[in-house]
Chain A
Amino acid sequence: MSENSKDSKSKKLSRRQFLGTAGSAIAATTLSGSILSGAVCASKHKESTGAQSPDAQGSVEVSLKVNGKSQTLRVQPRVTLLDTLRERLSLTGSKRICDRGNCGGCTVLLDGKPIYACMMLAVDAQNKEITTIEGLATPQNLTELQKQFVEKDALMCGFCTPGFVMACHAALKANPNATREEIKQACRGNICRCGTFNRVFEAAYAIAKPKT
């Protein structure tokens, strides 16, 4: 995306405009239940890096560690982690479906724990290890869980599938002996419209180790 391609129109952002931008970031954050955390996070980094002053677009510098790779980019404070991953870093495996924490299609791991990337601002995801579906495997070298998804046909249109893979992956990592019921519980934050649930459970259960 070329953000400065229209020089004739770009203006210096006034203080009022910046406050407006920050205000919408805060409003968006309240949905996730972490009121003001975006603002707090942003101001903290302002001191340490000195690079947090917004530019003409109101963007600030954000450092993200995604799939083991650290990257620095400029985004507006109101931009979600999901949109940053997808539209800025081209990591489009995490899907935007409901965009408000209802469907699990954007599930990524934050320090190993599954979260909805649509419910977190990019500025809030700094200093964390982010793992997206692309960080698990390539199509040529799938994880055992992903192989089971293919084998058991635990996908149809496939749009929800990365989210289910991430949810099951996290559940089985936390509990390799997961029961069928525990796998079901791990998928309760994910929605599939084609109706693949039964086969998702089968795929995940196939690699769960029996309880000893």
Chain B
Amino acid sequence: MSQNKLKWHDRKTSKYLGKNVPRVDGPEKVSGHAKYTYDIILPGMLYGKFLRSPYANAQVKSIDVSKAKNMPGVHAVISDIATQARFAGQEIAAVAAESEEIARDAINAIEIEWDVQPHSVETLIAMRRPDRVSEQRGQTAGGDPNNFWSQCAAVVEGEYYAPVREHLSLETHGVVARWDGPDRATVWVSTQAVHGVAGDLSGAFRIPAENITIICEHMGGGFGSKFSAGTEGLYAMRLARMTNRPVKMMLERYEEQVASGNGPDCFMKCKAGMTADGKLLAIDAEIYGTSGNSRSYNIPFPYIYSVPNTRVKIFAVPTNTGGARALRAPMHPNASFLMETVLDELIAKLNLDPVEVRIANQGSDVRANQLRLGAEKIGWDRRNKTPGQSKERFQRGIGCAVSTWGGGGGRGSECNVRIGRDGNVYAGIGTQDLGTGTRTLVAAIVAEELSIPISKVKADIGRSSLPNSGGSGGSVTAASVSPAVKSAAYEAAQQLLQTASTILGVPPNDLEFKDGQIRSKSDPSKSVSFENACARLPANGISVTGGFVAGLQRGGVAGAQFVEVEVDTWTGHVQPIKVVAVQDCGYWLNKLTAESQIIGGVIQGLSMALFEDRKMDEPTGRMLNPNMETYKVLGALEVPEIEPILFETHEQVAGIGEPVVIPTAAALGNAVYNATGVRIRTLPITPKRWFDALETKR
């Protein structure tokens, strides 16, 4: 069979693929033995620390590091990182010392004279200044929306806002850097891209990429913020070179929150109209958001809906804040919140069925079926036909929203599968496991192909010295990695069948792998155990490298989510009750971890809806909540029942890490409206916002 005809195993007869496969690294993780970058401790290791600008816009007039340099235990000081700070938190100087405490003391001992300049940190203030705003490419379709309002049966007009959110990875960004020679280094990095970081550092220090080994066995969350070596990577390397000792530089929590990326906000002025039969006719929108100092900004709007007469203007609002980085499905949750809220308002005005109107205004049969399935699962008929009809204190309601994503794989991944004479099987690929279960799917694919226990397969990932694989972003990892693993395992299996053929005297095409045996399909009594077949291999066993096979993956996934909430109308507290998440994912490799992705995405979406809000302080230019106490996220008590539904549309692998986070916040907002008749156009939906919106309604 040629590689192009490779197919995934039928789930009806498979042992691992498509089944519930517990993580192969689960035991290490639940026992605290898994070593993350943060956990690396090397002999003679120093601790690196940054001095960060306390000002949002300021120039360094002079810097005096003499006191820091002379402190006992301080080994190196760097004072030339930047002379101009563009946000409060920007790296200015760095030290390496024998303990973290000493490093902090040294940072505090650095004296800087600043020339403090005017700043602007709040999007909603900065956007009013034309000199700061820069127009981006927007969207247009059909005619001027203003010509169509008279043809609409319902028109809504309003202002909507979703704030800057943070990745809040639990393991902060950081590295442990060790030079092994003048042009060789080993660097432990908490990263989503071991090969990418090797490239970054190779370029920055002008040494061959193969001389740098990036190691990331386990990493504590990235969500789009951990692709590059980062400032911490560059300066840990420099400090390590200066001191000739390994340097550990893990960001502290406040540093993580001010300087390691965020997801931009979106402020929208919008007017939209719908015909009496529930068709979107026209939309006119202006959207503003900040990506930090950058003059670029984008948001997909009007999201998945086709509106015949569209004018969307998009504006970047540069501010003196930390730079944006991709945040799980970049800007899709924002776009979904804006568009689905507007849409829901129009539907409510016409008293139509939100599910049917959504189906009618988009073009995907898959999504239409998902909406119908989700409606059935949540009990759509239970929703309030008149929003806010209840007179009780606790009022329940249901809302929905939809998503789109790519999630297909890409070329460039290679996997090395080896079968040893001792029966040990190895699969090596330079990808990384963000917590999505990549290591487990590598092992599962090989175990399935050879019909051996998964415990017999050593899945080796998380090092740049392994065969090439891309960064884990865009939900492409499963769909990029799995074809390479599958094709390598398939070729290795074919080679082992040759050996078994000699042993059994049966042609290879009559042989199959079955429960640890290789046996004849026509005469199952002719068989040899996997181990015995391996024992007849040449001394160096089998080693095969496989690459991408387009036919094993496919992108383009749709999703639909339904959220039920209960609102305490005495306190304004919104409690999620149940979420049904229907996600198109093609051929799911591991049901257990695929469902965990969905559950986790929903939880992050609920967290966005109810809590997350980066607060900047315009007078001081600083972030007010750079900690986990005041940058709130969803916790144990707010978590509802979540029903993940894997919606199979084809037999090819597609990624789902990002799409599952997209529609939740919008669906929750729509549920709050259905429960109480109160429409909230600003996230997060706090008790205060609910009461404010109630006042407006009155």
Interface residues, chain A, with chain B CB atoms under 8 Å away:
1-3, 5-6, 9-11, 56-57, 76, 78-79, 83, 86-87, 90-100, 102-103, 105, 132-134, 136-140, 142, 146, 149-151, 153, 155-162, 165, 184-185, 187-188, 190-199, 201
Contact = CB atoms under 8 A, between A and B. Distances in A.
A107 B418 CA distance: 41
Nearest to B661: A195
Contact of A193 (B20, B633, B636, B637): B633
Nearest to B639: A197
A93 to B, nearest CB: 2
B131 interface: no
B629 A98 contact: yes
B245 to A, nearest CB: 9
A159 to B, nearest CB: 3
A138 B100 contact: no
B452 to A, nearest CB: 20
Interface stretch (B234-242, B269-277, B363-371, B594-602): B594-602
A137 B31 contact: yes
B47 to A, nearest CB: 8
A1 B98 contact: yes
* Most-contacted residue by chain B among A133, A185, A192, A196 (CB, 10 A): A192
Nearest to A149: B30
Contacts of A94: 32
B45 A139 contact: no
Given A87-B41, A97-B628, A159-B220, A195 B99 contact: no
Interface centre among A79, A155, A187, A201 (most CB of B within 10 A): A155
Contacts of A103: 170, 628
Q: Is the interface of A mostly helix, strand, loop or mixed?
A: loop
A142 B25 CA distance: 13
Interface string B574-596: 00000000000000000011011
Contact of A100 (B34, B71, B253): B253
Interface of B: 20, 22-23, 25-36, 38-39, 41, 43-45, 70-75, 98-102, 168-172, 218-221, 223, 252-253, 434-437, 592-593, 595-596, 599-604, 627-629, 633-637, 639, 641-642
A141 to B, nearest CB: 9
Contacts, number: 204
B628 A6 contact: no
A132 B28 CA distance: 15
Given A90-B41, A99-B253, A188-B635, A146 B31 contact: yes
B73 A57 contact: yes
The 9 closest A-B pairs by CB, nearest first: A93-B32, A157-B435, A159-B220, A195-B603, A195-B600, A133-B32, A158-B29, A92-B39, A150-B26
A98 B44 contact: no
Where chain B touches its partner, the secondary structure class is: loop
Nearest to A186: B636
Nearest to A136: B31
Contacts of A197: 603, 635-636, 639
Given A100-B253, A159-B221, A194 B435 contact: yes
Nearest to B605: A195
A6 B72 CA distance: 8
Given A105-B170, A139-B31, A156-B596, 14 more contacts: A9-B74, A10-B72, A97-B628, A100-B627, A136-B31, A149-B26, A151-B22, A153-B23, A157-B171, A157-B219, A157-B220, A159-B170, A159-B221, A193-B633
A191 B635 contact: yes
Contacts of B20: 153
Nearest to A83: B100
A159 B593 CA distance: 16
Nearest to B437: A156
A93 B642 CA distance: 29
Contact of A199 (B434, B435, B599, B627): B599
Contacts of A11: 72
Given A95-B38, A193-B170, A153 B596 contact: yes
A96 B248 CA distance: 14
B620 to A, nearest CB: 21
Contacts of A150: 22-23, 26-27, 30
A9 to B, nearest CB: 5
Contacts of A57: 72-73, 99, 102
A86 B600 contact: no
Contacts of B628: 97-98, 100, 102-103, 191
Given A10-B73, A156-B596, A188-B636, A161 B22 contact: no
B598 to A, nearest CB: 9
**Which of A137, A184, A191, A194 gathers most chain B CB within 10 Å?**
A194
Nearest to A146: B30
Contacts of A161: 29-30
Given A133-B32, A153-B23, A191-B635, A158 B98 contact: no
16 contacts: A87-B100, A93-B32, A103-B628, A150-B22, A155-B30, A156-B437, A158-B29, A158-B34, A159-B171, A159-B221, A184-B637, A185-B636, A194-B600, A197-B603, A197-B639, A198-B639
B171 A97 contact: yes
Contacts of A98: 253, 627-629
Contacts of B636: 184-185, 187-188, 190, 197, 201
